[in-house]
A and B are shown apart, each in its own frame.
Chain A
């Protein structure tokens, strides 16, 4: 029963208000992509024990999709932010670096 703050409406939402949407910052591959690219886009997901970026929807609230940066092991939440970005905002990356030096996630460091 996590609590995540919705960056749109500011509500500290109980997990029962939220719908999980899997990994954040996916790059879409469509027609014209190679079989491998498309396969990776559809099926290959990070499964870290540690820092992770996820997509959540404030489904029983304002309805907005947003992103959460959190630690899958300790459940620490480094922050939530708009889904309308291709990578985690700098202040969130800095906050993670402060708490988890040497963290990496895909090609984000």
Chain B
């Protein structure tokens, strides 16, 4: 059984007991435990079931490379799936649930998949896609949906109760990894004067060294780590962060750190995670190495563990996965596990060393302890189902005929070590194959390059392929000096700390155990635990012609789970290389992509959620709207009132009331969000003639003109009224969402094409508050304001005719009045200084009482313009619509030689008479057409779907007309007036609508010109 040991546990505090639950069962651990070590202490060997076959799975590793022990953590608004038990620090009240089993961890119905294994081989999903649809729908899909996927998604109705933040940091040298190599590199760089940031993912420093032993400068590694940390803490130019993982390395020295602030202490307050957004001149990756599993049959049975991880559990947390351990290895390091387990009082039944000549001094030390070591031997298979019960032993160089069986309840395996090259590789660092250590390590000649073309990442220690303590420290010394130098400092050159550790014999590459294992064994030999990929799957993929490692990865799903193949990649591609008769370096690795280890969505979002998801733009009248019933509608970053809802009224009622009242009496619209661009200069007229499809240079000062803007490829991008202010000044109105975009568009042409033209563009949108005063009483209310102020601008039809503007005073406010109308009513748009906006609005509301004034929102604005058949950018246009489609040919200048979009309009498809064109649509029964509905015509297309002949672009209920009105684009529409066409709705109904003129109200335009 797995249990707590009587001694050991350098990271736990046995005086502090902690209670937690696993699948509702109450358990006890100690402060300093991880959830994984605490589970082992409670004999919870099985921690989950596998993805595809639902096989029982236990802990394999002790760190972030763990593939199996994924749990759901917490409850309610703090529930989070797929959390690794090995990286979860234990805290009082922790509640964890195992995943991927149904109905329970111990009894799982879908474990039947295990028996159906031969049907679920490589490419299962791809192969199933070719079967008929009914089989998919009724047989495969329900089974796959039930069985696939790891953790459950959190309840979508609940919001994450925690907070998160982003933090910006600039460093000369960023060191990722706080093992002995990282500490030494950071120290050297800091002593050279560089500003250093050192990140360590765990809550303890020193990496493996304190567990693995040896001496540094005559000290135990743990003591040296403490001493070095003290030195670093005493330096002003060093920032140390533990529980902070280097998550990714990106272009030009950008890096992300993922700090877990309160995962271990919920309720402590403050943000839960902090995302460090770092710019570093140089980055040292001292990320260590990860041990590889050995590929033998039954290597996934709970109780089979990486040798170094088993040693970590025993030394760091004082727990053991079993009482009788078999060690299988191809290198000397696993002997340390035999020594550690023996020292902890656990029986080491056998050490099986694949090498005929065995190991070096560590092997001798193990033999001296009375432990039986057998060389040239291997595991034929592991016995057991929910946990290890025994091991069958065979010759490594055979087919797996067992020569002996021993009783055991745990297996420690070591297939060698792979440097953690992820961060080196994220931004393009290349790898070389190290034959002697059978691993890929960073190629120092081909690092990721910075803006200056020089490398900006340096790997150090085990992450750089250094073997052994002395090598790692020496490498770190060099890396620290090189990083400081490259960051512009004079490196403090010195000797690396002297280290001593036992000499080790060469390892032997072992990719299959035994070397000639038969197919029955290979079908029980796992490569990727999390995605359930076996040796036989990769071999099958190779036989089926998958030669590229990237294709094999996707076909078999090897390395595609949440652990990104940390344990499986090298073993998998060695099998692939062997199957293809190729060499490992020729097959190559798959791409390493950030993050190194999953990070929370909360950390990525940071503070940007809820109210502060994005900046909110408010007009000067925002607060008035808010306290007068505004139902807010987001328009870009602005909030505009959709309608002003009175008590006892529905939103729909409010809209209809506003529509009626504006036509009958007087409405006020806050139009401040409309973009306002001042275009000025000797060449401004020439420039605007290029920007707009119609002529703006001939506009007389004092007059307004409605203008259209097209992109260079002819499509409508914006519209609005342009006013000529004086000889060299124009004011261009844009759509609410268009101000910044159109400003940028103008600047691009001015700066990159016509840079010799003398024109300035200024975006004055926020400098002005603008109010549309609309309705039969519009003039009356303004004249009353002037009366009260003892005079003001003449607003009569004669003094200020339609489509003109004047500067002056209205009601004592300095104002500019435009006689323009987007509603078809008598209408003035009046701009005042933003600081006067609220006062002016309030004055209008007061003076308007006797004229029946009501404010109106964007929905009323839309209905009024639709009743008049006016187009709206974004409704009638979608980036594929040209002015000719909308019957706006009158706005395309024939006199101008050139304007943006002119050349495009003569391309063959643009001039095609079959283009859909704008018409009005009236339902036969007066109902409202569904928005976006498509009209169907005769015949079917190549996919057997009915041909479409048009679509609805705007559709509303008009309270003035008492019926639904709509506009749409219809093939040959203008020549089909009176025809009834059909729009199938998504509700199953067929809507019938008659093609009519799109001007539904006041066709002669009499109301606006009074």
Contact = CB atoms under 8 A, between A and B. Distances in A.
Interface stretch (B246-254, B557-565, B611-619, B696-704): B246-254
Contacts of A55: 752
A65 B744 CA distance: 10
Nearest to A65: B751
A57 B749 CA distance: 12
A11 interface: no
B452 interface: yes
Contacts of A15: 251
B744 A57 contact: yes
Greatest chain B CB density within 10 A among A3, A30, A42, A77 is at A30
A52 B69 CA distance: 47
Interface stretch (B624-632, B787-795, B896-904): B896-904
B453 A74 contact: yes
B254 A42 contact: no
Interface string B899-928: 000111011100000000000000000000
B755 A84 contact: yes
A9 interface: no
A76 B903 contact: no
Contact of A30 (B279, B748, B898): B898
Contacts of B712: 28, 42
A107 to B, nearest CB: 19
B852 interface: no
A108 interface: no
Given A76-B452, A84-B755, A63 B747 contact: yes
Given A76-B452, A83-B751, A1 B251 contact: yes
Nearest to A5: B451
Contacts of A75: 251-252, 427-428, 449-451
A91 interface: no
B753 interface: yes
Contact of B903 (A30, A64, A84): A30
Interface in A63-79: 63-65, 71, 74-77
Nearest to A32: B903
Contact of B748 (A3, A32, A57): A57
Nearest to A59: B744
Interface string A22-50: 00000011111101001000100000000
B250 A1 contact: yes
B452 A30 contact: no
Nearest to A12: B451
B246 to A, nearest CB: 15
A76 B449 contact: yes
Greatest chain B CB density within 10 A among A15, A31, A71 is at A31
Contacts of B252: 1-3, 75
B904 A42 contact: yes
Given A31-B898, A83-B755, A38 B907 contact: yes
B92 interface: no
Interface in B428-453: 428, 449-453
Contact of B254 (A1, A31, A57): A1
B449 A33 contact: no
B485 interface: no
A50 B753 CA distance: 26
A38 B903 contact: yes
A52 B907 CA distance: 30
B713 interface: yes
Contacts of B250: 1
A55 B755 CA distance: 15
Interface in B409-440: 427-428
A33 B902 CA distance: 11
Contacts of B428: 74-75
B691 to A, nearest CB: 14
Contact of A65 (B251, B279, B752, B906): B752
A106 interface: no
Contacts of A14: 279
A55 B897 CA distance: 27
A88 B49 CA distance: 60
B649 to A, nearest CB: 42
Nearest to B711: A42
B451 A31 contact: no
Contacts of A64: 751
A71 B902 CA distance: 35
Contacts of A35: 907-908
B903 A33 contact: yes
A74 B279 CA distance: 18
A50 B906 CA distance: 36
Contacts of B449: 74-76
B251 A28 contact: no
A61 interface: no
Nearest to A24: B752
B251 A31 contact: no
A32 B420 CA distance: 60
Interface in B691-736: 712-713
Interface in B155-208: none
Nearest to B252: A3
Contacts of A71: 453
Contact of A3 (B427, B451, B752, B898): B451
B904 A38 contact: yes
Contacts of A42: 712-713, 904
A19 B744 CA distance: 10
Contacts of B752: 21, 55, 65, 83-84
Contacts of A1: 250-252, 254
B451 A77 contact: yes
Contacts of B450: 75-76
B451 A65 contact: no
A99 interface: yes
Given A28-B753, A42-B712, A99 B453 contact: yes
A65 B897 CA distance: 27
Nearest to A78: B453
Interface in B793-829: none
Nearest to B168: A14
A74 B427 CA distance: 9
Contacts of A38: 903-904, 907
Greatest chain A CB density within 10 A among B252, B450, B452, B747 is at B252
Given A30-B898, A35-B907, A65 B748 contact: yes
Contacts of A3: 251-253, 279, 451
Nearest to A77: B451
Nearest to A76: B453
A29 to B, nearest CB: 7
Contacts of B755: 83-84
A57 B745 CA distance: 11
B216 to A, nearest CB: 37
B669 to A, nearest CB: 31
Nearest to B453: A76
A90 B869 CA distance: 56
Nearest to A38: B903
Given A2-B252, A75-B252, A76-B449, A65 B747 contact: yes
B278 to A, nearest CB: 10
B748 A21 contact: yes
Contacts of B251: 1-3, 15, 75
Nearest to B897: A31
Closest 9 CB pairs of A and B: A1-B254, A76-B453, A84-B755, A65-B751, A77-B451, A74-B449, A83-B752, A3-B252, A30-B898
15 contacts: A1-B254, A3-B252, A14-B279, A19-B744, A30-B898, A30-B902, A38-B903, A38-B904, A42-B712, A57-B744, A65-B751, A65-B752, A71-B453, A75-B428, A76-B449
Interface of A: 1-3, 14-15, 19, 21, 28-33, 35, 38, 42, 55, 57, 59, 63-65, 71, 74-77, 83-84, 99
Given A29-B903, A57-B744, 7 more contacts: A3-B253, A38-B904, A38-B907, A57-B747, A64-B751, A65-B752, A75-B252
Interface of B: 250-254, 279, 427-428, 449-453, 712-713, 744, 747-748, 751-753, 755, 897-898, 902-904, 906-908
